[in-house]
Amino acid sequence: MILPKVQIRKILYATDLSENALQAFAYAVSLAETYKAKITILHVLFEDVSMESSIISYVGQKKWDEIRNRNLQEARDALIGKKRDNVAIKEVLDSFCKTAQNGLTHQAFEADEVLVVRGNPVDRILKTCEDADCDIIVMGSHGHGTFVGAMIGSTAQRVVRRSQKPVLVVRIPE
């Protein structure tokens, strides 16, 4: 039996921007260094369209936009870990890359793209992987117990089930 040659030119790294996400990022960087691959970094802001339309029917579009914008800013502040005015999530991702690169002085990587998108995380991860022609997806998972996984399923589990490309899931400590 002849094994196919594994070629990784482009890696999709999906992150929730937590401090523990650096552990999964280390694997993406290691793969990038080994294969001389580029990394596309993706963060998805969860957006549930069906729930949103129900809310709009109760409070109206204008009020919903106000609430959503206020909550988006609070989410940005939470992602950053502290209050900072006028900081976009893309800047946080750029900072995330620089921090990671400083901590990995012996490894070099090239961030091909840094993306922040809205929508269903699983759908957006899979679509970005396809659109960017990535060869592998690297992401973290908090590894909740089997009961929780069976009841709600994690983003990582759903990506693994639906992806046409290999997925490397790194267990992230709680």
Edge-to-edge strand ranges of the sheet holding 10-14: 110-119, 38-46, 10-14, 136-141, 167-171
Residue 125 has phi, psi (to 5 degrees) of -65, -50
115 in helix, strand or coil?
strand
Superfamily, domain 10-47+87-171: HUPs (3.40.50.620)
136-to-20, 163, 172 alpha-carbon distances in Å: 20, 10, 19
Closest CA to 11 of 110, 120, 151: 110
At 63-117, the pLDDT tens digits run 767 776 766 555 545 444 444 433 455 566 666 666 666 655 555 566 778 888 8
**Residue, of 21 and 53, whose pLDDT is higher:** 21
Percent of the chain with pLDDT over 90: 33
User: Given a cut of 70, is residue 36 above it in pLDDT?
Assistant: yes
Rounded-to-integer distance, Cα 109 and Cα 10, Å: 11
Amino acid at 151: M
Rounded-to-integer distance, Cα 126 and Cα 37, Å: 19
41 in helix, strand or coil?
strand
CB 134 within 8 A of CB 12: yes
At 110-169, the pLDDT tens digits run 677 888 888 889 999 999 999 999 999 999 987 655 544 444 458 899 999 999 999 999
User: Given a cut of 90, is residue 11 above it in pLDDT?
Assistant: yes
What are the residue boundaries of the structural domains of the chain, listed by start? 10-47+87-171
- Taking the whole predicted model, whether its pTM rises above 0.75 is answered as no
